[in-house]
């Protein structure tokens, strides 16, 4: 009997040793320990890849002073225009990582939900599936598990996942009541952490600033609140969603749409540079940038999106970090969809989201470590 017990104990120890070796090898293959994920609502792929569209730089499309907007955003080549609009994306992310979505080069990035508006787009992105039950922008708790909730349920990520969203629907999209995620959205004051003087000022500004849109403050308030949290709390998985690109698009203000696209790019830059200045994040962090849906074509379709608006399913995605091969602007690639981002995000951390949601889109292999 003792011999049998000793044999079983030895087998158990060997299993632990080999599983530990396998886990260690897996960890070694993945240098990423942290994720920064930024989305900006309703940004067109056309501006991302070609820069400002000349036919829209007019008063007819809401440009208050065309000469100023042209000086700020118009350049003779698409490459120069897109760098003028989103310098960090093109001078840093495209050089050190990968960018998908330039249809002129055979790179297709899309949402697959068929509805092409915000709640379904964010839900597909974080849940990994396009659920037909998610078909409105109503304040209904999402029935689906999302990758942030799944990670937060693990001991090594618990209470180290944070969400900041300009739009007030994020507590519903990510089902805060069920998931227990830290989410600060809309005009909510931040209150779950020690209130620094910066937090106190930002909370007052959220309350005192004239509200242009119900349920969504200016992106600067959301971003600065998120940045203060990032520096103080140092989350392992950090998500930020900005909203003004979509709001100004719907209002037909092409000048403001371009200005806030550039501002979103600058927010990504500041977050990345802040991360690289901190030992916890330096050379151990992957950056993801995307959007929840696209918009229609010029001259009028650019203002809107949705199931009936052609081309509004098209988006962009960008990835950069210690595990992503620097392949730059992709061309002639297989179609990628928002449903693949959840599993890709988890895979950067060495986790397999599809064990929890088998129907989730597969990870985008090209941006992951090439073993």
Condensed to tens digits (0 to 9), the pLDDT of residues 315-356 reads: 999 999 999 999 999 999 999 999 999 999 999 999 999 999
Beta bridge partners of 34: 285
Residues contacting residue 35 through CB under 8 Å, at least 6 positions apart:
236, 237, 238, 285, 286, 288, 345, 348, 349
> pTM above the 0.85 mark?
yes
Asked whether the predicted pLDDT for residue 273 surpasses 80, the reply is: yes
Q: In this structure, are residues 209 and 223 in contact, taking their beta carbons and an 8 Å threshold?
A: no
**45 neighbors 293 (Cβ within 8 angstroms):** no
170: which 2 tokens? 């994020």
**pLDDT per residue over 277-289, tens digit each?**
999 999 999 999 9
Q: How many CB atoms lie within 10 A of CB 269?
A: 17
Quote the CA–CA distance of 99 and 97 in Å, as a whole number: 7
Q: Is the pLDDT of residue 24 over 50?
A: no
Q: Where are the beta strands (DSSP E) in 203-284?
A: 237-242
Residue 17: pLDDT over 90: no
Between the alpha carbon of residue 194 and those of residues 157, 177, 229, 233, the distances in Å are 20, 22, 10, 10
Helix (H) or strand (E) holding 265: helix 254-276
Residue 48 CA to residue 289 CA, distance in Å, equals: 12
Residue 130's φ and ψ, nearest 5 degrees, are -100, 95
Could you please state the CATH topology (level 3) that the domain comprising 33-367 is classified under. Answer: Alkaline Phosphatase, subunit A (3.40.720)
pLDDT value for 370: 82
Note the helical H segments in 40-102.
45-50, 66-73, 78-85, 87-88, 94-96
* Alpha-carbon separation of residue 227 from 164, 195, 263, 329, 336 (angstroms): 10, 14, 14, 28, 30
Domain ranges of the chain: 33-367
Residue 254 pLDDT exceeds 60:
yes
pLDDT tens for each residue of 236-248 = 999 999 999 999 9
Per-residue pLDDT, 3: 52
Is residue 15 over pLDDT 80?
A: no
Cα 47 to Cα 51, 136, 169, 301: the distances in Å are 4, 27, 26, 14
| Res 320: pLDDT | 98
Residue with tokens 């103080």: 232
> According to the model, what pLDDT value does residue 74 have?
98
Phi/psi of residue 236, nearest 5 degrees:
-85, -35
Taking 50 as the threshold, does the pLDDT of residue 20 lie above it? Answer: no
Comparing CA positions, the residue from 315, 284, 254, 370 lying closest to residue 124 is 315
End-to-end CA distance of the chain: 45
Say what percent of the chain tops pLDDT 90: 91
Kindly state the tokens that stand for 323: 């595990």
The overall average pLDDT reported for the chain is 93
């Amino acid at each position: 009997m003792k011999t049998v017990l000793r044999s079983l104990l030895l087998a158990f120890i060997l299993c632990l040793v080999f599983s530990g070796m396998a886990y260690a090898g897996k960890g070694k293959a993945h240098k990423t320990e942290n994720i920064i994920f930024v989305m900006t609502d309703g940004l067109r792929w056309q501006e991302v890849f070609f820069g400002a569209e000349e036919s829209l730089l007019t008063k007819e499309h809401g440009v208050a002073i065309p000469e100023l907007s042209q000086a700020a955003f118009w350049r003779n080549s698409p490459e120069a225009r897109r760098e003028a609009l989103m310098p960090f994306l093109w001078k840093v992310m495209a050089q050190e990582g990968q960018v998908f979505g330039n249809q002129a080069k055979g790179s297709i990035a899309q949402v697959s939900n068929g509805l092409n508006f915000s709640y379904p787009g964010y839900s597909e992105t974080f849940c990994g599936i396009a659920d037909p039950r998610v078909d409105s922008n109503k304040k209904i708790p999402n029935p689906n598990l999302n990758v942030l909730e799944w990670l937060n349920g693990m001991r090594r990520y618990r209470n180290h996942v944070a969400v900041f969203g300009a739009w007030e629907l994020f507590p519903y999209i990510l089902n805060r009541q069920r998931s227990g995620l830290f989410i600060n959205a809309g005009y909510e004051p931040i209150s779950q952490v020690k209130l620094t003087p910066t937090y106190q000022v930002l909370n007052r500004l959220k309350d005192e600033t004239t509200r242009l849109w119900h349920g969504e403050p200016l992106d600067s308030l959301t971003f600065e609140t998120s940045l203060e949290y990032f520096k103080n709390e140092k989350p392992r998985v950090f998500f930020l969603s900005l909203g003004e690109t979509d709001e100004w698009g719907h209002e037909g203000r092409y000048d403001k749409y371009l200005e806030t696209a550039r501002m979103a790019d600058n927010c990504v830059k500041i977050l990345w540079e802040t991360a690289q200045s901190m030992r916890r994040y330096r050379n151990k962090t992957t950056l993801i940038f995307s959007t929840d849906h696209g918009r229609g074509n010029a001259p009028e379709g650019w203002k809107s999106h949705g199931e009936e608006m052609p081309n509004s399913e098209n988006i962009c995605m960008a990835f950069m970090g210690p595990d992503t091969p620097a392949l730059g602007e992709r061309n002639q690639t297989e179609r990628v969809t928002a449903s693949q981002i959840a599993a890709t995000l988890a895979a950067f951390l060495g986790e397999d989201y599809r064990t929890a949601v088998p129907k989730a889109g597969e990870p985008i292999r090209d941006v992951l470590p090439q073993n």
